[in-house]
Structure formats: C-alpha cells, structure tokens
Amino acid sequence: MSRIGNAPVQVPAGVEVKIDKGMVTVKGPKGELTQDVDTALTVELNDNVVVVKRHTEQKDHKAKHGLYRSLIANMVEGVSKGYKTQQELVGVGYRASNQGQKLELLLGFSHAIVFELPEEIKVTCESERGKNPIVTLESHDKQLIGHVAAKIRSLRKPEPYKGKGIKFVGEQLRRKAGKSAAK
C-alpha cells in the first residue's frame, strides 16, 4: 500500500485542475503547469480533490503511483503559493548582481560568470556590507527552480576546509580539519 500515492491532493480556491487523456494541467494565480501522466495510472478530480489510482500491483506501477501524486501535489502548491530558494556566496570578493534575467556572479575566477535564467524564474540579489551576498530565486515550478539552483551551486561548490563557495541558506557543511602544525 502506497501511503504517498493514496493520499488525496486538496485543490485550494483559485486553482483550476484539468485532466485530459493522461495530461494534467494546473492553473493558478502564480502560473500554469502541465504534466504527462503514465498510462498505468488514472487521475480523477472529485470535489476539489485529486486522486491518483493504479490498476495493478507491479513494482514499477507502485513506484510511479507515489511519484505522479507528488508531482501533482507540487504543481498545485507551486501555482498557489510558489517556491523560493536562497543561496549564499561565501568568500572574499564574491559578488552577485542581476539585470533582468541575467545573473552576473564574481566567484574568484579571472572573469565574471553571466548566467541566463529562464523566464519562469524571478531573481533578486541582496548585498549588505559585512555579510555574504544572497541570491534569491522564486518560481511556481519546483522542478525548474531546483535544477537552476543546482546549476548555480555547481559553478563553485563549497569546499570542506574554509567553506568558500555557493551554498544554500541554512545548509550545514561538513568541515575538515586542516594540517596540524609541525613541532
């Protein structure tokens, strides 16, 4: 029995869900998302509640049951509330600025990195004197915002000795001890 797959998805007021031949479309105040659902599953909408059902007990179908239910739940939450992720640039001279959908990062390389963001993502950069710069990404698509945040983080991953690099706000890094002093 799949606990996640069997859980119904509540549709809040202001969000519209359409199901048409295996394609689920969710429209809300923040935007519109679509998801193609596997043919092994059926999606039903009854009284503002979306239920995902599977026809067989095959292992593959059980796995997809929970997956597609979670994807639909993320779509509903995204178009109603939206998603937000914050990244912190830790390092001397690390800076971030944006002009529209272009994010310019100075990460200790000999050149600035210009990162072009998709139209669905809204970016803001905050820089206070004495604090690390923070890049905030907001979007209605959880999958897209996670992918873009991972791409930005991969430009300069946090290193384990000093902790320099791009990290998520609140992320705990495993630190290593450096060389011990010789006697």
CB-based burial label for 152 (10 Å; 0-12, 13-18, 19+): buried
pLDDT at 1 over 60: no
The predicted-structure confidence for 148-168, as pLDDT tens digits, reads as follows: 999 999 999 999 998 899 999
pLDDT at 183 over 70: no
The CATH superfamily assigned to 83-168 is Ribosomal protein L6 (3.90.930.12)
Please tell me the class of the 3-80 domain: alpha beta
Quick one: tokens of 23? 């394609």
Q: Are 64 and 40 in contact (CB under 8 A)?
A: yes
Is pTM beyond 0.95? Reply is no
Among candidates 163, 162, 164, 161, which has minimal Cα distance to 176? 161
* Start and end residues for every CATH 3.90.930.12 domain found in the chain: 3-80, 83-168
